[in-house]
Amino acid sequence: MSDLTFIETQFPVSKISKESYKERMANYSQTLTGLGKWWGRKPLILVRATILGLLLPASNQPEKDREIFLKILTMDEEGLWQRKQGAKKNIRVEDIWRILTEEAHEVRVKKFLQYYEVLPQLMHDLRASLSIYITEKNRKFSWVKKTDPQVKAALEKLAFQSLYYDEKLNYTLRPENIPGPDKTTWTEINQYLGTKAKNLQELVEELGARRFGHRPKVGDAFCGGGSIPFEAARIGCDVYASDLNPVATLLTWAAIHIVGGGPEVAKEVRTAQEEIYEAVDRQVTEWKIEHNKEGHRADAYLYCVEVIDPETGWKVPLAPSWVIGEKTKTVAILKPDKKAKRYEIEIKMGATNAEIQAAKKGTVANGYVVHSENPNKIPMSLIRRENKGGLRPWEKGDFIPRADDVFQERLYCIRYVVPGKKRKEDLNPSPQQNLFETEEAYLPIEEETESYRYYTAPSSSDLKREEKVIQLLQEKFAEWQDRGYIPSRKIESGPKTDEPIRTRGWTHWHHLFNPRQLLAQGLFFKASLNSIVKGDLIRTSQLLGINKMADWNSKLSKWDPSFANEKGSPTFVNQALNTFYNYVTRTVKSLTTTWKFEINSYVSRNSNVLTTDSKEKKIFNSDIWITDPPYADAVNYHELSEFFLAWYEKHIPKLFPDWYTDSKRSLAIKGQNEDFRRSMVEAYSNLAKHMPDNGLQVVMFTHQDAGVWADLALILWASGLRVTAAWTIATETTSALKVGNYVQGTVLLILRKNLSNDTAFLDELIPQIEDEVKRQVDSMHKIEDKEEPNFSDTDYQLAAYAAALRILTSYRVLGDIEVDRELARTRSKTDKSPLETVIENARNVASSYLIPDGLDKSIWTDFSGMERYYLKALDLESKGESKAGSYQELARGLGVRDYETVMQSLRANEARPKTPKEFGDKILGGGGGFGISLTRQAVYSIYSALEADSGAQGRVYLQTEVEDFQKQRHRLIRILRYLERFGHTLSHWQKEGEIAGTIAGLLETNQG
């Protein structure tokens, strides 16, 4: 029997990618995100699938292996239906009609319809038969009254089954949200695998015992936010997890012991959260620092930076925009006070369009201060005194700006909440409050409480409350720092941490919080430590609550005025410490859900969590290592995590005496240079030593280019590991915050110990690698799902990389490679390593070997690289591919550099090639290349026929312009027939596809 595992032979990358995307899009309802901020957590479904793929054996029935794998994950048809029922999300009757009558779903409808005995008449005339059950009037659909509930249920299930996989996920729970496969499915799984499992944990234990002799032990030495160890423990593995960074270790410990602690732990934590919140709320209410005299309570304070214009002496409040709320049409309007040389700030709800447009301009733009009382722009560098020594560094005892500091802080808007019972008495004509002047329609409602909110400029009473906050904090400041209720730690200089130092003069972590924020968060910390509810689990959950409040309530929390929001953003919207000219402060009221974070409880297995270096010998032995190392990573985890460590440093040692509270910057594996590579070799050599000979490793990393692959391959090979497979899971972002093209996925590199003693030379291996690449592509073609393709061109190229590495790393020694020299190499685009050259060649072999349906080898081999690129790009688009990275990879694989010229868009998730109409007469003729190719001539013939509204014009063009037309006629016909196909699969190709078919027909009959 082969020792190969499922993941070493195949992996359902398309379905796992879609499930991962669904999990990502759940945002804050993801299982672990509620615990606190960490960067780059891997989707739990990806981890689950990876572990099961490592445990399941590969048989000589690959299709059945995949079927069983999907059943275990509830990603088969019955599992999806089970998840749909769990979600209790019905398909609307109009959507049932649409799905069952749409051409896009026709094939799938017919495939599943044969299994429904209650719907026999639908087999003959679907649309007419549906009218028996569903009626339509004025495009509104409803069930016919006498329709049997059994028939309704059958039609809904048929509609659901007829959807494509990603469409189905709109109606389902995630796999983690149901117990697992049903009894019938478990019987089928057990019969095939020879197991006796009744649930996922029992299956994992049985499969682990077969492979390793015991329950599988899964380790992660770069555990980060804890996704890998948490999911491994949840599905029944014993777990070892460690990280150099104590913030990461704390999150992982909490994931396993709090989220994985079961319902009782979740209940205890919730009780403690409620007790502490009520204590803080009572104190703040008693101080009267969040309520106004009408009894309305603030839920947001908006502050801005204020500076003095050195040219005019005016005090200028700064904000890139003075729009506060798009939905409520709220703006801040600056009113010049010429006598005081400052601006009064009026808050207006229900502003006119002109006022909103004026407010969008702001007083700071592109690094300049701009305001109405000075026609000149003032450079921010001048404001910061960058040529005169810069900003004053704040001192440890500072928590507000000094009077002579460049940047002052000003409260300019408060949002108050009107309790529902007070609403009627408050909504009456009166000039006293902005609220009273505002139409009720503009008041945003808090649906849960039926309370209403309004914006107002701070009154003199509000400003007195600000002074009281400062006084209260001043009284407690030294004691609270000493006790660790608020930070006292200095900010160490670094690429990311220099930002607040340079732009604001902040030198200690508490400077990133204003008095209200420090007072509130300090109160929560004090109440936590004085709580009657004790225990490590409770104390840890309280640290995590502080972590979340720090993230959501700092001077780096940006106000989001957009229509769907009107709320604050977290500190870490990206991997940086961004300072803003205006920001939001949350109140105790608006921190409710931040403190009382949701815990989705599960029960986990045995685990060990440590703060340690991955290179240390004290790590545990594991059968399986799954790691997501900081490889070529731009995220400075060690620096950014100090934002949270500043709050934890005096408390972690009390909970975990063996842990340290230093981010260990000097030990962190970072960069891409020689030291980085040697650190990686040391770490992975250590992991290899701590696993059995039949153990497995998975390294997750971001897929960039052949050079990155070559570097990582060298590192892992030098660590005593060999590659057996590689798969990529799509993770391309759709975020509107980002512009351009991004790395599209996470690569799973599957590895085993290299037990070989063989030696080889690269030139000897080239033919062997080429054969291995072709064998890999053929095996993937054989198991491909033709109806819903699993593999894209990117996956085939990735498999080519893996095939090359499988051969290369199977040898102990490669005579051409001097390991020390390669580890010390400084990478450059012109100086490629021998490994990189071999890997690129493997990719090119795969690209040339992959011929799109509708074309054959005889014509394919004659095409230029750009022709192949364009024709394959169309094939990619027709399969639903819109990720820019896929088209970039295709270009790399074909050795094409100027591929942008044939692309209409390369924006993330909007990438696609040009249509004939979009080409027009561009890139036609000229000095050669694509412009005079048969493919370009065929595409232009479609455009010319469209312009003339005559297919004959296209034939005339080809007959006139193509050299040796009669000899090339049959090739042109095949190209045009290939292009015709896209009229059936791409809506924007419908007319072009039809014309392509017409021209091809004319060429076939040689008619004009």
Q: Please answer whether residues 568 and 299 qualify as being in contact, where contact means their C-beta atoms are separated by less than 8 angstroms.
A: no
Residue 106 has pLDDT above 80, yes or no: yes
Q: So what's the pLDDT on residue 266?
A: 87
| Under 8 Å between Cβ of 283 and 535 | no
Residue with more model confidence, 626 or 118 = 626
Parallel, antiparallel or unpaired: strands 582-586 and 559-560: unpaired
Evaluated on CA atoms 591, 595, 596, 599, the torsion sign reads positive
pLDDT greater than 70 at residue 232: yes
Regarding predicted confidence, which is higher, 532 or 982?
Answer: 982
Would you state the structure tokens that stand for residue 614, as one six-digit string? 């991955």
Per-residue pLDDT at 827 = 64
8 A C-beta contact, residue 268 and residue 538: yes
Number of C-alpha atoms within 13 angstroms, CB side, residue 377? Answer: 9
Stretch 886-911: mean pLDDT: 86
Burial class (CB in 10 A: 0-12, 13-18, 19+), 740: exposed
Q: How confident is the model at residue 675 (pLDDT cuts 50, 70, 90)?
A: confident
Asked whether residue 873 carries a pLDDT value surpassing 80, the answer given is: yes
pLDDT above 60: residue 734: no
pLDDT at residue 438 in the model: 44
Longest dimension (CA), the chain: 95
Model confidence at 858, pLDDT cuts 50, 70, 90, reads confident
- Whether residue 124 is predicted with pLDDT greater than 80 in this model: the reply is no
* Mean pLDDT, residues 227-235: 94
Of 436-445, 644-653, 799-808, the range with the lowest mean pLDDT is 436-445
Each residue of 925-978: pLDDT tens digit?
765 688 889 999 999 999 999 999 999 999 999 999 999 999 999 999 999 999
Residue 226 vs residue 605, higher pLDDT: 226
Residue-wise pLDDT for 149-183, tens only, equals 999 999 999 999 999 999 999 999 999 999 999 99
Question: What gap in Å lies between CA 346 and CA 298, rounded to an integer?
Answer: 18
Q: Could you tell me the pLDDT band of residue 55, with boundaries at 50, 70 and 90? A: very high
Half-sphere exposure of 778 (CA within 13 A, CB side): 6
In this prediction, residue 430 carries a pLDDT of 45
Q: Which of the residue ranges 587-601, 664-678, 741-755 has the most confident prediction, judged by mean pLDDT? A: 587-601
Q: Tokens 């990806």 sit at which residue?
A: 46
Q: Lowest mean pLDDT of 43-52, 101-110, 686-695, name the range.
A: 101-110
- State yes or no: pLDDT of 814 exceeds 80: yes
Which amino acid belongs to residue 387? N
What pLDDT sits at residue 735?
38
**What is the per-residue pLDDT across 421-459, written as a single tens digit (0 to 9) for each?**
555 455 544 434 444 444 444 556 655 556 789 999 999
Query: How far are the Cα atoms of 127, 771, 916, 1007 from residue 979, in angstroms, in the given order?
Result: 31, 31, 10, 20
What is the predicted pLDDT for the residue at 634?
Answer: 56
**pLDDT grade for 704, boundaries at 50, 70 and 90:** low
Q: What is the mean pLDDT of the chain?
A: 87
Q: What pLDDT score does 739 carry? A: 32
Query: CA-CA distance, 662 to 1003, in Å (whole number)?
Result: 75
Residue with tokens 């009609």: 97
**DSSP output for 680-724:** HHHHHHHHHHTS-TT-EEEEEEE---HHHHHHHHHHHHHTTEEEE
Mean pLDDT across the stretch 833-847? 80
Confidence of residue 805 (pLDDT cuts 50, 70, 90): confident
As a whole number of angstroms, the distance between CA 421 and CA 398 comes to 42
